[in-house]
Structure 1
């Protein structure tokens, strides 16, 4: 594998940004692992961080480079700050950045990245789980399969939990404005299901001791009612890397590669 640290400028955000990128490389003689390149066009996983983190976190808390070494896929790990993968009411357009600009930038920098919907994926934890599901439900022309680990899937919950925190008001405006909007995963899922457009493959996991468990179970039930191709798993666990390190490996096995 090749690991690249990329500093670049975002026209949408008007600032310099960072991302780490893992690219397939055919290798021999590496101690404990071998790299593989399965085609000239690489399926790509956009791997998203949570609220307290940045583009480095998946490498610092997991062995993601080792996990994908023989899969022949690229992994893009961007920084999205505390933007909640959303065009903020008072702030930057992080949704436009993550859903439109970033894939275009990555494909221009790395022409071997696949531009096929069925070979473009997203996954994330907590806030990043929200972002990944949002990419599948709102940018389905680009992302064919998405996965959420302990996702912060119900933004109404966060307005109720952070009533004295201006962050969510700067991002979403108000609970009333956000509910039912294109930033509401429940509303997005219903809207897409009724549109007749192709539905993404979805994966969700949440620990039963996680404070976000009830929200994840609620979204699970809604997605099943709407007829989504959802793989849902739960097990004992809380909101911690002990479980996300294990479950990202499950996500990698779940990805519809070569199908």
Structure 2
């Protein structure tokens, strides 16, 4: 395995950014366990999972909180972890166009640097909590870029968070920037997943496969469940699972492993590109 910390300049965000990239490359573990991970040749590239962190976090949260390195190796899949601050992955007026950054600029940049496939069938996006919203939003608005998206304990209805007293000060601060103090920037086509789903259905574009899960003891349960049911009622292909668990890595880590191992449409090996 190789963990690469990339420091690049983002024209979209107009500042330097850090991105963590996991590549399943040969290591002593291969010799010990015979996993058969090899170096990519000129005509082979990796399927890629783009991961978006939870609120108040950064791009290192998955490395620090989960076994993502082991999951990347076991599934022979590259993983990119990018930071989006508290943006929900949206373009935030006067702060930064994070949606453009994660769906356009960053993939184009990293696919030029590393052996990452740019084909839709080889790209997936997922996240925890706030990152779950970002993943669903990206896949619904840019379905031509992702074959699948998943949300783990996703805050899929942003405005539901205001009802949770402990996070209300954070919610007010974040949504004042995102929506504007008078909601002058609010746009349901960019901030409401149900509206995005309707836009996708009307476009006749190919739908991404969607997966969501949440712990039944999660304080944000209602911020995800109702949206999932609404998306399914509209005709979207959403797999939903729930079970015991709270809003923490004890629930998120095994779910991440399960999704990568059993749900993502992975090939389990490098993908071939004709020269």
Same fold (TM over 0.5): yes
Displacement after TM superposition at 1:215 (Å): 2.7
- After superposition, the Cα gap between the structure-2 partners of 1:131 and 1:28, relative to the gap in structure 1 and judged at 3 Å, is same
Of residues 97, 102, 124, the one that matches 2:101 is 97
Residues 106-153 of structure 1: CA deviation (Å, up to 9, x unaligned): 11111x211111110011001111111111101111111000001110
| Root-mean-square deviation (Å) | 2.2
Unpaired stretches in structure 1, ≥5 consecutive residues = none
* Matches of 1:33 and 1:83, distance apart in 2: 42
* Matches of 1:150 and 1:117, distance apart in 2: 25
- 1:146 matched to 2:149: yes
- 1:2 matched to 2:2: yes
* Matches of 2:81 and 2:175, distance apart in 1: 24
Q: 8 Å contact 2:161–2:220 — kept in the other structure?
A: no
- More off after superposition, 154-163 vs 84-93: 154-163
Q: 8 Å contact 1:47–1:77 — kept in the other structure?
A: yes
* Matches of 1:89 and 1:201, distance apart in 2: 30
Of residues 206, 221, 234, the one that matches 1:198 is 206
The count of aligned residue pairs is 258
Q: 8 Å contact 1:159–1:175 — kept in the other structure?
A: no
TM-score normalised by structure 1 residue count: 0.92
Q: 8 Å contact 1:61–1:245 — kept in the other structure?
A: yes
- 1:255 matched to 2:264: yes
- After superposition, the Cα gap between the structure-2 partners of 1:146 and 1:33, relative to the gap in structure 1 and judged at 3 Å, is farther
Unpaired stretches in structure 2, ≥5 consecutive residues = 269-275
| Aligned pairs (5 A) from 1:1-259 | 1-27=1-27, 29-30=29-30, 34=35, 36-37=37-38, 40-110=44-114, 112-159=115-162, 161=164, 162=168, 165-173=172-180, 178=186, 180-253=188-261, 254-258=263-267
